[in-house]
Amino acid sequence: MKAPLLIVSKRAYSSSSSTIPVTTETLSVHFNRLVDRSSASSWNSVIADLARNGDSAEALRAFFWMRRLSVAPGRSTFPCALKSCAALASLPSGRQLHLQAFLLGLHHDLFVSSSLVDMYSKCGELADARRMFDETPRRNAVVWTSMIVGLVSNGRPRDGLSLFRELLAGECAEEGGEPVDPVLAVAVLSACSRMADKPVTSGIHGLLVRIGLAADVSVGNTLIDAYAKCGDLELAREVFDGMEARDVISWNSLIAVYAQNGRPAEAMEAFQEMVKCGYVHYNAMTLSAVLFTCAQAGALQFGKCIHNQVVRMGLEDDVYVGTSLVDMYCKCGRVVMARRAFDRMQNRNIKSWTAMIAGYGMHGHGGKALEVFAEMRRSSLRPNYITFVSVLAACSHAGLMNEGRHWFCAMKREFDIDPGLEHYACMVDLLGRAGHLREAYDLIMGMRIEPDSVVWGALLAACRIHKDVELGEVSARKLFELDPKNCGYYVLLSNIYANAGMWSDAERMRTLVKCRGLVKPPGYSSVELRGRIHVFLSGDKEHPQHEEIYSYLAMLMEKMHAAGYVTDTGSVLHDVDQEEKETVLHLHSEKLAVAFGIMNTLPGAAIQVIKNLRICGDCHTAIKVISKIASREIVIRDSNRFHHFRDGWCSCGDYW
On the question of pLDDT at 10 being above 50, the answer is no
- Who has greater pLDDT, 151 or 522? 151
Neighbours of 315 (CB within 10 A): 17
Q: How far is CA 260 from the centre of its chain?
A: 8
On the question of pLDDT at 254 being above 70, the answer is yes
| Closest to 232 in 3D by CA, of 210, 206, 257 | 257
* Residue 493 sits in the same domain as residue 514: yes
pLDDT at residue 12 in the model: 32
* Residue 480 sits in the same domain as residue 556: no
> Is 461 part of any domain?
yes
On the question of pLDDT at 640 being above 90, the answer is no
Where is the domain boundary, 486, 520, 554? 520
pLDDT-based confidence at residue 30 (cuts at 50, 70, 90): low
pLDDT-based confidence at residue 642 (cuts at 50, 70, 90): very high
pLDDT-based confidence at residue 379 (cuts at 50, 70, 90): very high
Arithmetic mean of pLDDT over the chain: 86
* Residue 532 sits in the same domain as residue 515: no
Question: What is the secondary structure of 35-47 as a DSSP string?
Answer: S-TT-HHHHHHHH
33 contact partners, CB below 8 Å, separation of at least 6: 46
> Is 87 part of any domain?
no
* Residue 578 sits in the same domain as residue 640: yes
> Over pLDDT 70: what percentage of the chain?
89
Contact of 431 with 443, CB cutoff 8 Å: yes
237 contact partners, CB below 8 Å, separation of at least 6: 254
CA-to-CA separations, 336 to 55, 244, 288, 323, 647, in angstroms, rounded: 41, 45, 20, 14, 20
Question: What is the secondary structure of 486-517 as a DSSP string?
Answer: -HHHHHHHHHHHHHTT-HHHHHHHHHHHHHTT
pLDDT-based confidence at residue 36 (cuts at 50, 70, 90): low
Contact of 436 with 463, CB cutoff 8 Å: no
* Residue 501 sits in the same domain as residue 600: no
* Residue 563 sits in the same domain as residue 603: yes
pLDDT at residue 608 in the model: 92
> Is 278 part of any domain?
no
* Residue 497 sits in the same domain as residue 549: no
pLDDT-based confidence at residue 575 (cuts at 50, 70, 90): very low
- Who has greater pLDDT, 521 or 579? 521
Where is the domain boundary, 501, 520, 539? 520
Comparing 319-333, 453-467, 519-533, 637-651, which segment has the lowest mean pLDDT?
519-533
438 contact partners, CB below 8 Å, separation of at least 6: 471
> Is 71 part of any domain?
no
Question: How many distinct structural domains can be found in the chain?
Answer: 2
Contact of 645 with 624, CB cutoff 8 Å: yes
pLDDT-based confidence at residue 623 (cuts at 50, 70, 90): very high
Q: Which domain holds residue 538?
A: 524-650
> Is 98 part of any domain?
no
Neighbours of 417 (CB within 10 A): 17
Where is the domain boundary, 492, 520, 548? 520
* Residue 494 sits in the same domain as residue 539: no
Instruction: Give the SS3 label for residue 447.
Output: coil
> Over pLDDT 90: what percentage of the chain?
55
On the question of pLDDT at 19 being above 70, the answer is no
| Cα 318 to Cα 316: distance, rounded to the nearest angstrom | 6
| CATH number of the CATH domain containing 511 | 1.25.40.10
> Is 590 part of any domain?
yes
pLDDT at residue 222 in the model: 94
* Residue 459 sits in the same domain as residue 535: no
- Who has greater pLDDT, 441 or 177? 441
| Closest to 139 in 3D by CA, of 106, 94, 172 | 172
pLDDT at residue 17 in the model: 37
59 contact partners, CB below 8 Å, separation of at least 6: 47, 50, 51, 80, 81, 83, 84
pLDDT at residue 120 in the model: 95
Question: What is the secondary structure of 253-296 as a DSSP string?
Answer: HHHHHHHHTT-HHHHHHHHHHHHHTT-TT--HHHHHHHHHHHHH
> Is 617 part of any domain?
yes
Please give the average per-residue pLDDT across 336-364, as a whole number. 95
150, 151, 157, 162: CA torsion to nearest 10 = -120
pLDDT-based confidence at residue 220 (cuts at 50, 70, 90): very high
pLDDT at residue 14 in the model: 35
**Each residue of 493-511: pLDDT tens digit?**
998 998 899 999 999 998 9
Please give the average per-residue pLDDT across 516-528, as a whole number. 87
**Each residue of 543-560: pLDDT tens digit?**
999 999 999 999 999 999
pLDDT-based confidence at residue 170 (cuts at 50, 70, 90): confident
Contact of 404 with 396, CB cutoff 8 Å: yes
The H or E element that residue 524 is part of is strand 524-529
pLDDT at residue 300 in the model: 86
* Residue 528 sits in the same domain as residue 438: no
> Is 440 part of any domain?
yes
| Cα 510 to Cα 218: distance, rounded to the nearest angstrom | 51
On the question of pLDDT at 26 being above 60, the answer is no
* Residue 494 sits in the same domain as residue 463: yes
pLDDT-based confidence at residue 580 (cuts at 50, 70, 90): very low
323 contact partners, CB below 8 Å, separation of at least 6: 288, 345, 348, 349, 351, 352, 355
* Residue 445 sits in the same domain as residue 541: no
